[in-house]
Homo-oligomer: A and B are copies of this chain.
């Protein structure tokens, strides 16, 4: 019997989108549940750590978006082929977290002056520092973020991080000045199942 997947998240791409891309890449049908804030208030207490996304695999709940991605990636053939390759993926993934975390800090900042200052430092320092390094890595890895082949970190970068940064920096494409990274995102979005998904997914604000 086929595995049954049910993914619950808000009505947006956010931290769920890389999971959705993995599921469509695996040709898995899944229930794509998108809840509103009223549903969330009722549901929050029932989740393991008060967070979404939540994936249910044959009814078993799984939380933490990156943990879910790592788990599905093994089934999708998008993990490493050995411990050294998995190490390279983990290094890139931790680095994507380091690139995202300070962006989250200016997004959540409620004081407008501080928000502006944090965002400026992010745009002038953090972002170019990491993007330049990541662009070189892709240049040296045959067009991928690690191991010279497509992997789950390419999905996380394209589906989650780039969309998050574009939205919160208010720019059309954060990879515009980074040719290797830009080509990578184009390549991932051109994977037939992903292309179809993007064309047909709900249009949402985040």
Binding site for B on A (CB under 8 A): 48-51, 62-68, 70-71, 74-75, 83-84, 86-87, 90-91, 93-95, 97-98, 101, 105, 129-130, 133
Give chain B nearest CB distance to A47 CB in angstroms. Answer: 11
- Is there an interface contact between A133 and B49, defined as CB atoms closer than 8 Å? yes
- Is there an interface contact between B95 and A71, defined as CB atoms closer than 8 Å? no
The binding surface of chain A is classed by DSSP as helix
- Is there an interface contact between A83 and B74, defined as CB atoms closer than 8 Å? yes
Please give, as numbers and ranges, the residues of chain B lying within 8 Å of A133 by CB-CB distance.
Answer: 48-49
Q: CA separation between A84 and B95, bound complex, in Å?
A: 25
Q: What's the number of copies of this chain in the assembled complex?
A: 2
**Given known A-B contacts A64-B95, A97-B97, A70 and B87 have beta carbons under 8 A apart:** yes
Nearest-CB residue, chain B, relative to A130? B49
Please give, as numbers and ranges, the residues of chain B lying within 8 Å of A83 by CB-CB distance.
Answer: 71, 74-75
- Is there an interface contact between A101 and B101, defined as CB atoms closer than 8 Å? yes
- Is there an interface contact between B64 and A86, defined as CB atoms closer than 8 Å? no
- Is there an interface contact between B105 and A90, defined as CB atoms closer than 8 Å? no
Q: CA separation between A70 and B101, bound complex, in Å?
A: 21
Given contacts A64-B90, A70-B90, A97-B97, 8 further A-B pairs with CB under 8 A are A48-B91, A49-B98, A64-B94, A66-B90, A67-B87, A67-B91, A71-B84, A71-B86
Q: CA separation between A134 and B98, bound complex, in Å?
A: 24
Q: What would 28 A/B residue contacts be, using CB atoms closer than 8 Å? A: A48-B91, A48-B133, A49-B95, A49-B98, A50-B129, A51-B98, A62-B91, A64-B90, A64-B91, A64-B94, A64-B95, A65-B94, A66-B90, A66-B94, A67-B87, A67-B91, A67-B93, A68-B87, A70-B86, A70-B87, A71-B83, A71-B84, A71-B87, A71-B90, A74-B83, A75-B83, A97-B97, A105-B105
Please give, as numbers and ranges, the residues of chain B lying within 8 Å of A75 by CB-CB distance.
Answer: 83
